[in-house]
């Protein structure tokens, strides 16, 4: 494969990938359907007492598909939550002078992979029954999508609220857990396309070992470098194997028959990257 042609293909794909990363949030949604919401009831440990507290979280609509292993940049997703604090606990917060707080370990889950989104308390609103609606908001930190597959996007299984007063954080925290985190959405993560570029000597003598060097690259930016196996086939026969490391693989191929041998070089793919291939011709002379 011509290297400059490979470069142009990768450059074009890179632009498309960058646009896809920016479009991870559905840009064309209306205000009426611009977010997914889910509610889970967490058991929060307040001074040694387990207290049930419902939390509703809202995140922007995500596209139904994305690239496996993509690195999602920070500050792309706006996350907001409302935790309903029972009247008895709300009274304790008032007594302590709580006016703020943080949840540094909050985040969604893509399957079992964390998508962190630290939260800061934005307001405490009393309800008619004496409970308090504690609203918090934040943006995502950088995270990486898992391997190819279909995943539920859910609320976290646990988080920790650190309350604060006008003087600063209080010297205790409130851990919260649930066995049934709410599902917000789901996403299909597709394997990234790849490009294989193989080079080999144009001519060798019979009995000489031919060195075939292959470069394998993902066509998408912000995704893992391809790994896995690469093979060389002469017809249906496998004549060489190699391991892709740092995007490259080297195969030493011996006992090629005399003549123009057309070798198919096949990258077999991995959990993040789809297969691809190239062809080399080696003229074996006596």
CATH number, domain containing residue 215: 2.60.40.150
Q: Given this model, what pLDDT does residue 60 score?
A: 84
| Shared domain check, 233 and 93 | no
User: Other C-beta atoms within 10 Å of 82: how many?
Assistant: 19
Contact 223, 69 (CB under 8 A): yes
Q: Given this model, what pLDDT does residue 94 score?
A: 86
Closest C-alpha among 112, 123, 205 to residue 151: 112
Q: Given this model, what pLDDT does residue 11 score?
A: 46
On the question of pLDDT at 166 being above 50, the answer is: yes
Of 190, 217, 241, the domain-final residue? 190
Residues spanned by the domain of 255: 194-285
Question: Mean pLDDT across the stretch 243-266?
Answer: 97
pLDDT digits (tens, 9 = 90+) for 200-231: 999 999 999 999 999 999 999 899 999 999 99
| Shared domain check, 154 and 205 | no
Q: In the structure, what pLDDT confidence band is assigned to residue 35 with cuts at 50, 70 and 90?
A: confident
How many domains are there within the chain? 2
Domain contains 26: no
| Shared domain check, 181 and 52 | yes
On the question of pLDDT at 105 being above 70, the answer is: yes
| Shared domain check, 209 and 186 | no
Mean pLDDT rounded to a whole number for the chain: 89
Based on DSSP, count helices (H) and strands (E) in the chain, helices before strands.
Answer: 2, 24
Share of the chain above pLDDT 70, in %: 88
Q: Given this model, what pLDDT does residue 93 score?
A: 87
Q: Given this model, what pLDDT does residue 21 score?
A: 46
Tokens at 90, concatenated: 């709300």
Tokens at 75, concatenated: 């500050």
On the question of pLDDT at 235 being above 70, the answer is: yes
140-155 per-residue burial string, b: 16 or more CB within 10 A, e: under 16? bbebbbbbbeebebbb
Contact 172, 96 (CB under 8 A): no
| Shared domain check, 117 and 59 | yes
Question: Mean pLDDT across the stretch 126-149?
Answer: 96
Token pair 């080999």 in the structure block, residue: 200
Distance between alpha carbon 133 and the CA centroid of its chain, in Å?
Answer: 32
On the question of pLDDT at 34 being above 70, the answer is: no
The residue among 34 and 45 whose pLDDT is bigger is 45
Q: Give whole-number Cα distances, 107 to 101, 200, 251, in Å.
A: 16, 49, 44
Of 172, 190, 208, the domain-final residue? 190
């Amino acid at each position: 494969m011509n290297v400059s042609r490979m470069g142009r293909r990768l450059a074009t794909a890179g632009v498309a990938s960058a646009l896809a990363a920016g479009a991870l949030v559905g840009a064309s949604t209306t205000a009426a359907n611009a977010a997914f919401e889910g509610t889970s009831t967490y058991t929060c440990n307040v001074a040694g007492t387990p207290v049930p507290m419902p939390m509703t979280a809202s995140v922007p609509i995500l596209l139904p598909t994305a690239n496996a292993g993509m690195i999602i940049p920070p500050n792309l997703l706006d996350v907001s939550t409302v935790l309903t604090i029972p009247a008895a606990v709300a009274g304790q917060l008032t007594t302590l002078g709580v006016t703020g707080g943080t949840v540094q370990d909050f985040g969604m889950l893509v399957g079992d992979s964390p998508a962190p989104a630290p939260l800061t308390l934005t307001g405490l609103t009393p309800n008619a029954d004496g409970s308090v609606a504690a609203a918090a908001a934040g943006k995502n930190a950088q995270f990486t999508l898992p391997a190819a597959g279909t995943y539920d996007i859910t609320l976290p299984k646990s988080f920790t609220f650190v309350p604060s007063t006008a003087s600063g954080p209080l010297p205790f925290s409130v851990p919260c857990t649930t066995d049934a985190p709410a599902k917000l959405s789901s996403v299909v993560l597709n394997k990234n396309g790849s490009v294989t570029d193989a080079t080999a000597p144009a001519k060798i003598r019979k009995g000489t070992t031919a060195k075939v060097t292959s470069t394998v690259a993902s066509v998408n930016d912000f995704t893992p470098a391809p790994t896995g196996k690469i093979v060389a086939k002469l017809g249906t026969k496998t004549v060489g194997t190699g391991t892709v490391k740092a995007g490259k693989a080297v195969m030493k191929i011996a006992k090629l028959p005399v003549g123009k041998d057309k070798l198919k070089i096949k990258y077999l793919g991995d959990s993040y990257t789809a297969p691809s291939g190239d062809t080399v011709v080696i003229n074996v002379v006596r």
